Amino acid sequence: MAILLGSIADDYTGASDLANTLTKNGLRTVQTVGIPDPSLALPDVDAVVVSLKIRSVPAADAVTAATSAEQWLRLRGASHVLYKICSTFDSTDAGNIGPVTEALSQAAGGGIVLVTPAFPETGRTVYLGHLFVGGQPLNESPLKDHPLNPMHDADLVRVLTRQSHGAVGLIDLTAIAAGPCAVKARLEALRAAGVTAAIADAIFEQDLETLGEIALETPVSTGASGLGLGLARALVRSGRISSGGTAPADVIRPVGGLSAIVAGSCSKATLRQLEVAERSMPVLRLDPERLLAGPDEIAAAISWAGDRIAAGPIVVAASAAPETVARLQSLYGRDASGHAIETATSIIAAELVARGVRRLVVAGGETSGAAVDRLAIPAFLIGPEIAAGVPVLRTVGNAQGDMLLALKSGNFGGEDFFAAALAMMH
């Protein structure tokens, strides 16, 4: 299986978001969970997205995992590797976008790396190096309250500089609007000046197509699904993409079984989606302090779900508003409480699957990673899009047999997302 494009995603929802974009733009794509076992039969594809859970781990651990994945991708033919980060640049000053980008660049021989989180389809645009979310500067958007990595600075050159060893430059919209030659010249000028990473402006898809064309001429880039769109369209234009592969419609062949939703995301979008879900299905709001106190809350949740799951879809949610999250974190610590709740929601998800759930929606990137890891799912085929950035996924090689999942990025999806997702999964 020789592939053309490899990607390493820093969380599992981000991986499925990118896999969705690559599929929509003509690339046969598969999403793996980590580096797959050699015995896992994967389809013949143009692109592989390796999901890692490295967005919020120590930088050294993220670098080790990412460089191993990069080696695996290069051995399978990838001439370009995209480090898929969040479109809202989710990270702290301790990393990991800078450290991983520099490690991947070094592994590929050095040079300069194009970096852009722009994803206009979901309202993420970059202008003069500043990231806007739906028109709000990043630091004024709900991302300022993220439980794990609150974003307090919209200037991405400053943000990336604080977590990088090398110099960070800017390719502004004027250069990008002038086309690929101008971008190439700007990139070369920055490289000659000792810059090792360049934040690139992007507001429209045309900007991303320009960036994708230039990025494809380099071994490594860092970005979100928007850059994935540019890379995919550049590959299709190059004529190197074969047709065929498993059609998304085939991916969502019915799997039967029961259905459930587990939410750990505390994003504004997810909180609203949970409110709407309460109008049509049973929703259990977990008590986070009881979750942290011991196993009783998990047992109670499993019992609650067991009494209802046969009658129709249910929701189990740890999600809470920023002020509630902050209070818990002040008592138990940010990382400790986040990890403990991810563990709890993953146990609940696994217990639901043990009771017959085969259609599962998980809301939250870290939450999805914990749940998918506990279910030991090795890979996914990419199905149709439910909402921008969120496809239906079909499991490959897992012990429970075929399942359909949706791994929803916290900030993605409309208010009726949960019902819309279940309506596509039978």
Ligand X SMILES: O=C(O)[C@@H](O)C(=O)COP(=O)(O)O
Q: Which residues bind ligand X (CB under 6 A)?
A: 11, 13-14, 17, 86-88, 119, 224-225, 364-365, 389, 409-411
Smallest distance from the beta carbon of 381 to ligand ADP, in angstroms?
A: 22
- Residue 17 binds which of ligand ADP, ligand X, none (CB < 5-8 A, kind-dependent): ligand X
The three-state secondary structure class of 40 is coil
- Contact residues for 393 (Cβ-Cβ < 8 A; gap 6+): 16, 31, 251, 380, 381, 382, 383, 404, 405, 406, 407
147 binds, among ligand ADP, ligand X, none (CB under 5 to 8 A by kind): ligand ADP
Measure the CA–CA gap between 304 and 238, rounded to whole angstroms.
Answer: 54
**From the list ligand X, ligand ADP, none, partner contacted by residue 315 (C-beta under 5 to 8 A by kind):** none
- Give contact residues for ligand ADP (rule: CB under 6 A): 13, 147-148, 264-267, 288, 318-320, 324-325, 328, 337-338, 341-342, 364-367, 409-410
297 binds, among ligand X, ligand ADP, none (CB under 5 to 8 A by kind): none
H/E element holding 408?
A: strand 404-408
Q: Residues 138, 88: contact at Cβ < 8 Å?
A: yes
Nearer to ligand ADP, 174 or 324 (CB): 324
Least distance (Å) between residue 86 CB and ligand ADP: 8
Element at 379 (helix H, strand E)? strand 379-387
In the complex with ligand X, the residue whose CB is nearer, 55 or 186, is 55
CB of 277 to ligand ADP, least distance (A): 16
Shortest CB 411 distance to ligand ADP, Å: 6
367: partner contacted, choices ligand X, ligand ADP, none (Cβ within 5-8 A by kind): ligand ADP
Report whether 197 contacts 110 (CB < 8 A).
no
Contacted by 14, from ligand X, ligand ADP, none: CB < 5 to 8 Å by type: ligand X
CB 77 within 8 A of CB 4: yes
The interface partner of residue 98, options being ligand X, ligand ADP, none and the CB cut-off 5 to 8 Å by kind, is none
CB of 316 to ligand ADP, least distance (A): 11
E strand map for 247-305: 258-263, 283-285
Smallest CA-to-CA distance from 40 within 418, 376, 419, 314 is with: 376
The residue nearest ligand ADP at its CB is 410
Q: Considering the complex, what minimum distance in angstroms separates the CB of residue 142 from ligand X? A: 11
- Specify the residue, 365 or 383, whose C-beta has the smaller distance to ligand X: 365
Work out what residue 88 binds among ligand X, ligand ADP, none; the CB cut-off runs from 5 to 8 Å by kind: ligand X
Nearest one of 43, 37, 98, 34 to 68, comparing CA atoms: 34
For 103-154, where are the E strands, in sequence order? Answer: 113-116, 124-127, 130-133, 136-137
**CB of 162: closest distance to ligand ADP in angstroms?**
21
CA-closest candidate to residue 416, choices 293, 289, 273, 308: 273
Of 7 and 225, the one with the shorter C-beta distance to ligand X is 225
- Report residue 296 CA to chain centroid gap: 31
Q: What angle do CA 93, 191, 48 make, to 5 degrees?
A: 65
Closer residue to ligand X (CB): 245 or 369: 369
Burial class (CB in 10 A: 0-12, 13-18, 19+), 321: exposed
Which residue number, 14 or 98, has a Cβ lying nearer to ligand X?
14
